[in-house]
Amino acid sequence: MLSLSEKTRADIIGVEIQKRLADLAQKNIELNGLEHRLRVIHGDLKDLEIKKVCCIVTNPPYFKVTPDARINDSDERAIARHELKVTFKELARSAGRLLKTGGYLYLIHRPERLLEITRELKEEDIEVKRLRFVHPYADRQPNHVLIHAVKDGETGLSVDPPLILYREKNVCSDELETMYGREIHASQSTRSKEKTEIS
């Protein structure tokens, strides 16, 4: 939410089903003096009752719950990674209900579920308009896909050039550095310092 607030002057509402994370997000909002534009609702997206919105940004759980699923022992991480609290079908239904006509949906997910995602969104009259595949390295298969969709949008899809994250191990691509700049250098410096102290 904090990063998003730097890119828009619109009011932002965060929805978080896990209370500790909702409280943490609210604390960060207050520490940054953004209470006038940002707020967090602790609740279930499926039950959310608010006025229709012009944009939804979401990073949903990637993995279905199956008999052979390797679910994290931490409930917090398990809920974030697996569809224990919300399935993609339920998320698509909620987005269809909450978005205004012409409203945008932005999300990140796994490429192997792209056809399912496109189908579920289309059932809610949300048309996928742009895709961008994210590759860890230039010679690796994508492990994420960025999706831009529009409520009641016309058909027509464009695919952007791939986003490559790393040139080599621990060396960010030029584009990633441009996106995050100082934050990446700071985190890399911290990791280097930790390795030095450990050794």
In the chain, where are the structural domains located?
1-43, 52-164
The C-alpha angle 23, 28, 29, rounded to 5 degrees, equals 95
pLDDT on residue 2: 85
Residues 6+ apart with CB under 8 A from 12: 1, 4, 5, 37, 38, 39
pLDDT on residue 180: 79
pLDDT on residue 183: 52
Q: CATH number of 52-164: 3.40.50.150, 3.90.226.10, 1.10.357.10, 3.40.50.1220?
A: 3.40.50.150
- What predicted TM-score, i.e. pTM, was given to this entire model? 0.86
Residue 110, both tokens: 């796994």
Local mean pLDDT, 10-residue blocks, the chain (199 residues) = 86 95 95 94 94 96 91 92 96 97 98 98 98 97 98 97 95 91 51 40
